[in-house]
Chains A and B, each alone.
Chain A
Amino acid sequence: MEVVLKASAVTRVLEGEIPVTLVRDVNLEVRSGEFVAITGPSGSGKSSLLYLLGLLDRPTAGAVSINGTDTSEFGEDELADARLSQMGFVFQSHFLLPEFSATENVMLPMQRLGRISQKEIEAHAATLLDDLGLAGQAHKLPSQMSGGQSQRVAIARALANDPVLILADEPTGNLDTAASANVQTILRDLARKHDRSVVVVTHDRDFAKSADRVIVVVDGKIEAG
């Protein structure tokens, strides 16, 4: 399996009067179709590592490569383009735009990328929502849906541009047990059945155990995995 994501000696130091090291010398590879869970105590730097892997933050030292391309020299626009075309994000909160319906939220990344026609965008959004069991919620606003449904819309939005990598930060943190199980199943299936690489930050041990690989982060360093 080819390497989709590679972190080489990635360090992130938060500058200030007293510099804080969020991530320390992390080396990591995620392969195609691999489901990786990142776990660790609160404040250990899991989310910071995920933001670095997702090109939302720049490492102070080291480099992150996507599909073999080193991104350390990328400008802000190139990083944004890489996120748009190759990555999908799911956060603890669904972060759907409240004024837009489920379908419109899913359509946003596709419209920004502009690779396919408006008709194809609408059809693809409908398929994604249907696949995630949300066909009946397509025209609803986020405020009219449950937390689980909204999180599934967020997953559909993350999948909109057919990314090679899904990054999820505590995606089940705000959900009840049933909704949480549902989201976990979807993310696992994305890796196993749809050959996408999935990196999930989670506190949930059972969820982490179901991953292909578990990475334990302590004080910004990978302790195991």
Chain B
Amino acid sequence: MNSLLSSIAVRHLLARKRQSVVSLLGIVLGVAFFLAISSLMQGSEDDFIRRLIDNSPHITIVDQFRNPHPQPAEQVFTRGAVQVLRVKPETETRGIRGYKQVLEYLRTISGVTASPVLDGQALISFAGKDVGISLNGMIPADIDRVSTIGNYMVAGKIMDLAANRDGIIIGDQLAKDLSLQMGENLTVSATTGQTHTFKIVGMFHTGRANIDDGQAFVELKRVQALLDRSNRVNSIIIKLFDPNRARDLAQQIESHVGYKSISWQEASEDIMSLLLIRKILMYTVVSAVLVVAAFGIYNVISTVVMEKQRDIAILKSMGFHARDIMRIFLTQGAMLGAAGCAAGIPLGCALMVGIMNVSFKMPGSKDLTYMPVSWNWIQFTMAASFAMAAAVLAAYVPSRKAAQVHPVDILRGAA
């Protein structure tokens, strides 16, 4: 039965080869462009997220609480008319208390690498020039495992800070601004009034101006002493083996340690929502290509239905049901959609390979950059699903019209 209806559908399409091929081409090009554009957009999004994940902590524990602590009076009299006004938090040394215990806890979670950081504002003085910087204190062996800063070293290496406790690593732009060289000494003054002289043991270049001329790295203990915050850090940077676990794990860590734990997804929520909007726009545009192609199918099947009124009438008089007639024409739509996918996917792959081979140099970069293309199966499934849905929907209206043909009206007129 199905093969009978399919064979009638095929014969109808083959009888109108040129029109069928033109409408098929619409679907083929629609699927190919859908694939090429969506894979490029998805590829660029994946690339962006990968860079975001690589270059920023997956989870950051900061020395803040998500909600202010409830006052003891409010806790005791939960149902009473108690209002505590003008609460002034206790003055204390800022930072994560017991960060070593927190690190111990983090080590018990598999796939987690953590490094404590204490940063604060400081002033670098050299040759009569004073420059404000952000001074980052860290444990060299740990930071190398959670940060990509080691990849940007242009002189020396992070572990040189372990060898020389009075060493400092600065950005190459800062060195240029202050005419500093490797091995030279400079004086750092903290906001506490304390000063310390460091020796330049390394330089980095990230390409981002605010980092290259405004950041410096030293050993954690030195910063704790300079900022007068012994046994304190103000953040713990965490890298995960699986970055997609960040949101769940951040919640788990926060509920355990109490301090605010921010996942990379939370930190980049504005960017992620922007990417989502971009994705919706992109799929709307590429789907529009297929909708236009679907009009070609609608046109062909409508024409076939118009021309085949007599055949429809005779099939119905013979005993074919209305739904059989509908299935014949829906099958035509599905066939054009399937053939469009079968030819459109290889063409789309060819376009994707072509796009992947387009290379260019980013400003300030020596290396060639290639267009990022995503080969995710979801792109292919979506292209095929959109094409099939568009083709079948385009066939639906004329199919319904065909099913409603009353044989007597046609036979009377044709006699």
Q: Report chain A residues within 8 Å CB of B324.
A: 112
A83 contacts the other chain (CB 8 A): yes
Task: Name the one of A56, A85, A112 contacting B407, with C-beta atoms under 8 angstroms.
Answer: A56
**B4 lies within 8 A of A111 (CB):** yes
**B4 lies within 8 A of A91 (CB):** no
- Against A, the Cβ 8 Å flags (1 = close, 0 = not) of B370-389 are 00000000000000000000
Q: In the complex where A80-B321, A112-B318 touch, is A99 in contact with B1 (Cβ < 8 A)?
A: no
**A51 lies within 8 A of B411 (CB):** yes
Q: Report chain A residues within 8 Å CB of B12.
A: 99
Report the nearest A residue to B412, measured CB to CB: A47
Output the residue of B320, B411, B412 with the most chain A CB within 10 A: B411
**B1 lies within 8 A of A112 (CB):** yes
**B320 lies within 8 A of A95 (CB):** no
B285 contacts the other chain (CB 8 A): no
**B319 lies within 8 A of A170 (CB):** no
**B415 lies within 8 A of A83 (CB):** no
- Against B, the Cβ 8 Å flags (1 = close, 0 = not) of A150-189 are 0000000100000000000110010000000000000000
Q: Report chain A residues within 8 Å CB of B313.
A: 95
- Against A, the Cβ 8 Å flags (1 = close, 0 = not) of B166-177 are 000000000000
**Which residues of chain A in 31-80 are interfacial with respect to chain B, using CB atoms and an 8 Å cutoff?**
47, 51, 54, 56-57, 76-77, 80
Q: Report chain B residues within 8 Å CB of A97.
A: 8, 11, 311, 314-315
Q: Report chain B residues within 8 Å CB of A80.
A: 316, 319-321
**A99 lies within 8 A of B14 (CB):** yes
**B317 lies within 8 A of A109 (CB):** no
B408 contacts the other chain (CB 8 A): yes
**B317 lies within 8 A of A56 (CB):** yes
**A84 lies within 8 A of B318 (CB):** yes
- Against A, the Cβ 8 Å flags (1 = close, 0 = not) of B293-321 are 00000000000000000110111111111
**Which residues of chain B in 1-50 are interfacial with respect to chain A, using CB atoms and an 8 Å cutoff?**
1, 4, 8, 11-12, 14-15
Q: In the complex where A92-B415, A99-B15, A170-B415 touch, is A54 in contact with B314 (Cβ < 8 A)?
A: no
**B317 lies within 8 A of A83 (CB):** yes
Q: Nearest Cβ in chain B — how far from A110, in angstroms? A: 10
A113 contacts the other chain (CB 8 A): yes
**B415 lies within 8 A of A109 (CB):** no
**B4 lies within 8 A of A95 (CB):** no
Q: Report chain B residues within 8 Å CB of A98.
A: 15, 311
A108 contacts the other chain (CB 8 A): yes
CA distance A99 to B8 in the complex (A): 9
CA distance A112 to B14 in the complex (A): 22
A81 contacts the other chain (CB 8 A): yes
**Which residues of chain B in 382-415 are interfacial with respect to chain A, using CB atoms and an 8 Å cutoff?**
407-408, 411-412, 414-415
Q: Nearest Cβ in chain A — how far from B147, in angstroms? A: 71
**B310 lies within 8 A of A95 (CB):** yes
CA distance A84 to B319 in the complex (A): 4
**A47 lies within 8 A of B317 (CB):** no
Q: In the complex where A99-B15, A111-B1, A112-B1 touch, is A57 in contact with B319 (Cβ < 8 A)?
A: no
B103 contacts the other chain (CB 8 A): no
Output the residue of A83, A113, A157 with the most chain B CB within 10 A: A83
B322 contacts the other chain (CB 8 A): yes
Output the residue of B311, B318, B320, B322 with the most chain A CB within 10 A: B318
A114 contacts the other chain (CB 8 A): yes
Report the nearest A residue to B323, measured CB to CB: A77
Report the nearest B residue to A58, measured CB to CB: B408
- Against A, the Cβ 8 Å flags (1 = close, 0 = not) of B316-338 are 11111110100000000000000
Q: Report chain B residues within 8 Å CB of A84.
A: 318-320
**A108 lies within 8 A of B321 (CB):** no
Report the nearest A residue to B411, measured CB to CB: A91
**B4 lies within 8 A of A108 (CB):** yes
CA distance A114 to B324 in the complex (A): 14
CA distance A183 to B111 in the complex (A): 87
CA distance A9 to B38 in the complex (A): 67
CA distance A89 to B316 in the complex (A): 11
**B318 lies within 8 A of A89 (CB):** yes
**Which residues of chain A in 5-20 are interfacial with respect to chain B, using CB atoms and an 8 Å cutoff?**
none
Task: Name the one of A47, A51, A112 contacting B4, with C-beta atoms under 8 angstroms.
Answer: A112
Q: Nearest Cβ in chain A — how far from B152, in angstroms? A: 70
Q: Report chain A residues within 8 Å CB of B314.
A: 91, 95, 97
Q: Report chain A residues within 8 Å CB of B407.
A: 56
Q: Report chain A residues within 8 Å CB of B414.
A: 91, 93, 95
Q: Report chain B residues within 8 Å CB of A111.
A: 1, 4
**B319 lies within 8 A of A47 (CB):** no
A-B contact pairs, 5 of them (CB 8 A): A56-B407, A84-B320, A95-B414, A108-B315, A113-B319
Known: A47-B415, A82-B319, A93-B414. 4 other contacts (CB 8 A): A51-B408, A54-B317, A81-B319, A170-B415
Residues of chain A having any CB pair with chain B under 8 Å:
47, 51, 54, 56-57, 76-77, 80-85, 89, 91-93, 95, 97-100, 108-109, 111-114, 157, 169-170, 173
